[in-house]
């Protein structure tokens, strides 16, 4: 019996160990072609069917091939109710010699890919299609650049004869770099060394995502199988990290940034209940459209501000990328009197002067008038005119009596409106006293959220606190939804709206002020991660579920 129990326990242990063993990722390798000529390049694709921060060991490839560069990307898809992630590497290789060369099995964790055979033909006996006077060059506009700023890179082929159809000019493949071709390949002529050269030029805008030393690999040109390949030397670039600025959350390294108010014909005098539409635009040279920040603060104690439309535009120009962000906002004052919209200020880094700069729009003061008492008579006036047209005019005693009654009613209406105005002014003064902390207001710590205390707050003030709490709950729900929907820009704006309601005695200029308040390193890292996706320093899809859980923990 014990012998049977011993075997059963061994089998159960083996089953548990098998079920708990992690699922290995499948590693796949395939080249873009299996037969090339010596001097040509091949593009090798390596895939693993999961999201991973590590990468396979590529060193075995250097035995038979020159490793010219690699680029990593993550591809996500949703099918059959499940998220599917694939991590992919694109590797550019050039054979070291002719013959049958092997792409060896690559290793990653406990998985290995299948080896591949590449047939490389020699160049002996082949006619050279490239003249000895032809040459290839590459250049950049600067050997020093800031992180996430634009670097212009160009390759130019100078040739005396027309290029054959099989000719190829390599494209740059660099890890941790966003590369954007600046239009189509340009063709023109240039007089050099007493000869007329035809020039084939292709330019790119490069945006380094990490600081440190960047190596732009050699450019290659091949006129076809069996021809001599032209190469350039690699280019070394120093990528400086972003500079600390007074206002965090912004890193805009550019040569020019303009902030504009495109609103035309708008009056600064409104009637309470009216809505004003304004349009703001931020434009920059050498920045991607996704790097441009939100313009309009959506929080104001005296007005409701909402964004009706946001449009991003990105153009390719001879000097690189030019982008803009246009916001159309709706402003509805909620109080009469002077409503002040604060100055809009966006700091940026001038790469030409290597110094900090600020683009700003002055504060906007709206004069909000109360609803005029003459609005109702304006509606009623046509009816009175109609009645007058039907009833004959006569200076009888009845008409005089009717006129006297009308005057009495008008005087009564004026007295009632004056009373309502006095009551409104009195309520406003009481509200201001409550806001600045009169003796009848409970003492609240700046680090604590606003909570009602039934024993010390009058019913009118308790209603106001309940309204604020309802607004805070709604703002928190919208912020959490934006996090779970993986929308970093919307999440930042909504989190700030919620924080200003939850901690009404604290000032929040950017999302990191929240981590300073709570002294939470975890929250700070999650907010920095969100800001990095907003600024464009991180690519791919942002996952906001961890930030949502952290905020739920803070509020609970």
* Token code pair at residue 542: 């942002």
46-100 pLDDT, tens digit per residue, is: 988 887 777 788 888 888 888 877 888 887 766 666 777 888 888 888 888 888 8
Q: What is the mean pLDDT of residues 521-549?
A: 82
Task: Note the pTM of the prediction, 2 decimals.
Answer: 0.48
What integer pLDDT is reported at residue 449 of this predicted model?
A: 53
Examine residue 183 and state whether it is found in any structural domain, yes or no: yes
CATH of the domain at 230: 2.60.40.10
What integer pLDDT is reported at residue 59 of this predicted model?
A: 86
Examine residue 522 and state whether it is found in any structural domain, yes or no: yes
- CA atoms of 206 and 199, how far apart (whole Å): 22
Report which of 495, 549, 500 is spatially closest to residue 522, judged by C-alpha positions: 549
- Asked if residue 261 and residue 236 are part of one domain, the reply reads no
pLDDT band at 499 (very low <50, low <70, confident <90, very high): confident
pLDDT band at 15 (very low <50, low <70, confident <90, very high): very low
**Cβ–Cβ < 8 Å for 195, 135:** no
| 109 Cα distance to chain centroid | 34
Answer whether residue 518 shows pLDDT above 90: no
What integer pLDDT is reported at residue 389 of this predicted model?
A: 35
CATH of the domain at 60: 2.60.40
Helices (H), 391-454: 397-436
| 413 Cα distance to chain centroid | 55
- Asked if residue 195 and residue 97 are part of one domain, the reply reads no
What integer pLDDT is reported at residue 151 of this predicted model?
A: 95
Examine residue 413 and state whether it is found in any structural domain, yes or no: no
- Asked if residue 39 and residue 103 are part of one domain, the reply reads yes
| 358 Cα distance to chain centroid | 20
- CA atoms of 291 and 537, how far apart (whole Å): 9
What integer pLDDT is reported at residue 380 of this predicted model?
A: 31
Boundary-marking domain end, from 318, 347, 369: 369
Boundary-marking domain end, from 192, 219, 240: 240
433-465 pLDDT, tens digit per residue, is: 434 333 333 433 444 455 544 444 555 666 777
pLDDT band at 200 (very low <50, low <70, confident <90, very high): very high
Answer whether residue 245 shows pLDDT above 80: no
- Asked if residue 211 and residue 156 are part of one domain, the reply reads yes
- Asked if residue 75 and residue 139 are part of one domain, the reply reads no
Structural domain tally of the chain?
4
Boundary-marking domain end, from 369, 404, 420: 369
- Asked if residue 116 and residue 67 are part of one domain, the reply reads yes
Least confidently predicted of 102-106, 179-183, 221-225: 221-225
- Asked if residue 116 and residue 49 are part of one domain, the reply reads yes
What integer pLDDT is reported at residue 468 of this predicted model?
A: 79
Examine residue 202 and state whether it is found in any structural domain, yes or no: yes
251-298 pLDDT, tens digit per residue, is: 899 999 999 999 888 788 888 888 889 999 999 999 999 899 888 877
- Asked if residue 270 and residue 233 are part of one domain, the reply reads no
In the chain, the percentage of residues whose pLDDT exceeds 70 is 74
173-199 pLDDT, tens digit per residue, is: 998 899 999 988 999 998 887 889 999
Examine residue 248 and state whether it is found in any structural domain, yes or no: no
Examine residue 322 and state whether it is found in any structural domain, yes or no: yes
- Asked if residue 314 and residue 236 are part of one domain, the reply reads no
Side by side, the strands of the sheet bearing 99-103 are 35-37, 116-121, 99-103
Answer whether residue 376 shows pLDDT above 60: no
- Asked if residue 116 and residue 145 are part of one domain, the reply reads no
- Asked if residue 195 and residue 224 are part of one domain, the reply reads yes
> Tokens 């040459």, residue?
135
**Cβ–Cβ < 8 Å for 123, 39:** yes
- Asked if residue 293 and residue 217 are part of one domain, the reply reads no
Q: What is the mean pLDDT of residues 191-209?
A: 90
Per-residue HEC secondary structure of 339-388 comes to: EEECCEEEEEEECCCCEEEEEEECCEEEEEECCCCCHHHHHHHHHHHHHH
Examine residue 193 and state whether it is found in any structural domain, yes or no: yes
Report which of 442, 495, 490 is spatially closest to residue 465, judged by C-alpha positions: 442
- CA atoms of 331 and 336, how far apart (whole Å): 14
Q: For residue 97, what are the domain limits?
A: 27-121
Examine residue 314 and state whether it is found in any structural domain, yes or no: yes
């Amino acid at each position: 019996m014990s012998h049977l129990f011993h075997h059963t326990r061994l089998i159960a242990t083996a089953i548990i160990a098998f079920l708990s063993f992690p699922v290995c990722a499948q590693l796949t390798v395939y080249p873009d072609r299996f037969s090339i000529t010596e001097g040509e390049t091949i593009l090798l694709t390596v895939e693993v069917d999961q999201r991973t921060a590590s990468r396979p060991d590529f060193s075995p490839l250097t035995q038979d091939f020159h490793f010219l560069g690699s680029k990593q990307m993550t591809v996500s898809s949703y099918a059959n109710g499940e998220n599917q992630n694939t991590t992919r590497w694109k590797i550019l290789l050039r054979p070291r010699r002719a013959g049958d060369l092997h792409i060896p099995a690559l290793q990653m964790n406990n998985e290995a890919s299948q080896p591949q055979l590449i047939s490389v033909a020699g160049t002996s006996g082949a006619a050279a299609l490239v003249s000895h006077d032809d040459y290839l060059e590459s250049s950049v506009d600067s050997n020093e650049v800031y992180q996430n700023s634009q670097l212009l890179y160009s390759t130019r082929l100078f040739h005396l004869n027309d290029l054959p159809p099989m000719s190829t000019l390599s494209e740059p493949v660099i890890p941790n770099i966003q590369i954007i071709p600046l239009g189509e390949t340009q063709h023109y002529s240039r007089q050099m060394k007493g000869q007329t050269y035809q020039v084939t030029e292709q330019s790119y805008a490069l945006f380094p995502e990490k600081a440190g030393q960047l190596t732009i690999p050699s450019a290659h040109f091949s006129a076809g199988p069996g021809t001599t390949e032209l190469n350039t030397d690699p280019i070394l670039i120093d990528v400086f990290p972003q500079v600390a600025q007074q206002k965090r959350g912004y890193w805009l390294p550019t040569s020019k940034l303009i902030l504009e108010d495109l609103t035309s014909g708008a009056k600064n005098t409104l009637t309470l209940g009216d809505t004003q539409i304004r349009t703001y635009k931020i434009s920059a040279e050498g920045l991607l459209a996704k790097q441009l920040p939100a313009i309009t603060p959506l929080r104001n104690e005296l007005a409701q501000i909402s964004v009706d439309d946001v449009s991003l535009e990105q153009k390719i120009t001879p000097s690189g990328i030019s982008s803009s962000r246009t916001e159309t906002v709706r402003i509805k004052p909620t109080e009469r009197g002077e409503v002040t919209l604060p100055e809009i200020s966006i700091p940026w880094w001038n790469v030409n002067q290597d110094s900090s700069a600020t683009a700003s729009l002055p504060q906007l003061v709206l004069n909000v008038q109360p609803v005029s008492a003459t609005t109702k008579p304006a509606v009623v006036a046509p009816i009175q005119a109609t009645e007058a047209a039907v009833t004959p005019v006569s200076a009888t005693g009845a008409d005089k009596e009717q006129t006297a009654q009308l005057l009495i009613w008008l005087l009564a209406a004026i007295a009632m409106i004056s009373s309502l105005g006095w009551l409104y002014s009195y309520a406003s003064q009481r509200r201001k006293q409550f806001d600045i902390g009169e003796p009848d207001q409970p003492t609240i710590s700046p680090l604590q959220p606003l909570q009602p205390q039934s024993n010390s707050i009058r019913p009118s003030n308790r209603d106001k606190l309940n309204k604020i709490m309802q607004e805070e709950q709604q703002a928190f729900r919208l912020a959490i939804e934006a996090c779970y929907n993986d929308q970093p820009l919307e999440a930042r704006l909504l989190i700030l709206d919620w924080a200003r309601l939850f901690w009404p005695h604290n000032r929040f200029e950017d999302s990191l002020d929240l981590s300073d308040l709570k002294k939470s390193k975890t929250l700070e890292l999650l907010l920095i991660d969100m800001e990095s996706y907003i600024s464009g320093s991180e690519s791919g899809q942002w996952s906001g579920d961890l930030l949502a859980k952290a905020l739920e923990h803070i509020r609970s």
